[in-house]
Structure 1
Amino acid sequence: MKRLRNPRTGIDQGDLVVFSEFDSGGSMWTGEGARERRKTVRFSEAFARPPAVQVSMSMWDMDTSAAVRAELVAENITATGFDVVFRTWADSRVARVRAAWMAIGDMPFEDDWVVD
């Protein structure tokens, strides 16, 4: 059994609004062609090495008169944070997107884990 010597768990997670452009008439809602939005996430504590990061849409508000085209990825992953990146293209119209994320990685110090 593994137990922690300290309260850090090697897991960090969150949920954030990547963008909201319906009310402002932004290009995700009014534009066409390739479009991208990025949000930088900083971990609550640094990992020892870049962690594995999973992202998923926790909310999306999209116009259904055209095909729904979307990509959501984690990029530029470091021990201290990463970028959430949302992309769409062609005539897809996106009002807003919220993303949930989870990072799982090594503890900052090898002796943070004690195996009995």
Structure 2
Amino acid sequence: MKRLRNHITGIDQGDETLFMDYENGGEMWTGEGNRERRATVRFSEKYNANPSVMLTVSLWDVDYSTNIRSEVVAENISKTKFDIVFRTWGNTRIAQARVSWMAIGEMEDEDVWDVP
């Protein structure tokens, strides 16, 4: 659990389309083995400390004739941005994927002064 030191809590959220590989024969749709897609997301405002980031797959279009294997993680979380990482492997065929995200963390507080 992250404890917030003050009453200023920032929540930012969005939706990112990671790929639409069925349109152009991309590797998520036609490839095999380990595959990965990344998208960098920038927060609308800077957090005071690295926020907690939650992800969920909001859309995926997969081939029903193969096993569905995937992993979605947030990496490189900072005060201003993070990376969505979508991975698949084996013979899984994914036509398209979209990920929804939410970041929750402490924002700057005008009432707290940093006096040296």
TM-score by length of 1: 0.87
1:27-54 alpha-carbon deviations (Å, 9 max, x no partner): 0000000000000000000000110000
Q: How far, CA to CA, are the matches of 2:100 and 2:76 in structure 1?
A: 17
Aligned residue-pair number: 107
Partner in structure 1 of residue 18 of structure 2: 18
Partner in structure 2 of residue 52 of structure 1: 52
Decide which moves more: 103-112 or 81-90: 103-112
- 1:41 pairs with 2:41: yes
Gaps of 5+ in 2: 1-5
Q: How far, CA to CA, are the matches of 1:110 and 1:99 in structure 2?
A: 33
Moved over 4 A (4+): none
| 1:108 shift after superposition | 2.2
1:50-89 alpha-carbon deviations (Å, 9 max, x no partner): 1000000000000010100000110000000100000000
Gaps of 5+ in 1: none
| Aligned-residue identity in percent | 55
Partner in structure 2 of residue 77 of structure 1: 77
Q: How far, CA to CA, are the matches of 1:87 and 1:109 in structure 2?
A: 38
Q: How far, CA to CA, are the matches of 1:108 and 1:56 in structure 2?
A: 27
Partner in structure 2 of residue 100 of structure 1: 100
1:12-41 alpha-carbon deviations (Å, 9 max, x no partner): 000110111101000000000000000000
Partner SS state of residue 47, structure 2: coil
